């Protein structure tokens, strides 16, 4: 059975390790660490920012700690929801999850409220960082509806990078596949603020619908508002 809860070997801060091994809050964990109640491989550690490995022997008040495994979730985000842990003007997409400790999860690469499609959620910060940092070259594929017919030459412009308003550098090269004159597939390896909308605005067009279909090798395969855990193979495609 696929549970979507896996071990991925990484370092983490000591306070985070304690929180993921107990029911303590971050403030409570920090207090106990500074009080000298946490041992790492037999040594008292009083700094909560100390980096520890899951294979280290970490003891709190005589009890050996073991972290809960990280979780990796795929969701098909509905329109008019936000990638925040709390409701704001629009409701949080986390309301769709009926699992424990939802507050520990975050979105790896947010979408705007009016954008639908593939969202990845996790409590593994290192894994999500590999998704969003441009140097990792993790591709994201968007299906884009446009208000006007796509102009000649835009594919080539996107391939060389576009000058966005307020930006000093061009965007990274992007792949543009024309489905029809007003619908395209756009593949990016970065995630600037409102980047898709700003790129098309820079070439005299306007985005009227935006739907993310793929992140790396992970494709959207659930209905609107539905979710599932990722398989171990899917998780590993990001951390390679």
- Whether 15 is catalytic is no
* Dist CA 135 CA 128 (whole Å): 13
Report phi then psi at 16, rounded to 5: -65, -40
* Dist CA 143 CA 207 (whole Å): 10
Q: Tokens at residue 81, please?
A: 């929801």
Asked if 131 and 108 touch (Cβ cutoff 8 Å), the reply is: yes
* Dist CA 14 CA 19 (whole Å): 9
Q: Measuring CA to CA, which residue among 64, 19, 23, 54 is closest to residue 33?
A: 19
Secondary structure of residue 151 in the 3-state scheme: coil
Q: Measuring CA to CA, which residue among 114, 141, 134 is closest to residue 212?
A: 141
Secondary structure of residue 130 in the 3-state scheme: helix
One of 112, 130, 152, 233 is an active-site residue; which one? 112
Secondary structure of residue 19 in the 3-state scheme: helix
Active site residue ranges:
112
């Amino acid at each position: 059975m696929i549970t979507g809860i896996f071990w991925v070997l990484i370092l983490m801060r000591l306070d985070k390790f304690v929180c993921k091994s107990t029911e303590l809050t971050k403030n409570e964990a920090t207090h106990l660490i500074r009080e000298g109640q946490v041992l790492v491989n037999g040594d008292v550690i009083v700094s909560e920012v100390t980096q520890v490995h899951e294979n280290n022997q970490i003891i709190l008040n005589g009890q050996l700690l073991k972290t809960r495994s990280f979780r990796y979730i795929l969701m098909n985000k509905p329109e008019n929801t936000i990638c925040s842990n709390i409701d704001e003007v629009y409701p949080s997409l986390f309301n769709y999850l009926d699992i424990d400790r939802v507050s520990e999860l975050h979105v790896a690469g947010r979408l705007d409220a009016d954008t639908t499609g593939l969202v990845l959620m996790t409590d593994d910060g290192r894994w999500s960082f590999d998704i969003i940092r441009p140097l990792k070259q993790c591709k994201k594929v968007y299906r884009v509806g446009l208000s006007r017919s796509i102009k000649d030459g835009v594919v080539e412009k996107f391939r060389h990078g576009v000058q966005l308003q307020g930006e000093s550098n061009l965007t990274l090269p992007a792949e543009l596949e024309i489905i029809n004159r007003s619908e395209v597939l756009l593949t990016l390896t970065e995630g600037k603020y409102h980047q898709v909308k700003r790129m098309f605005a820079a070439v005299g067009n306007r985005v009227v619908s935006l739907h993310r279909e793929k992140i790396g090798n992970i494709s959207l395969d659930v209905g609107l508002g539905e979710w599932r855990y990722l398989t171990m193979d899917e998780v590993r495609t990001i951390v390679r």
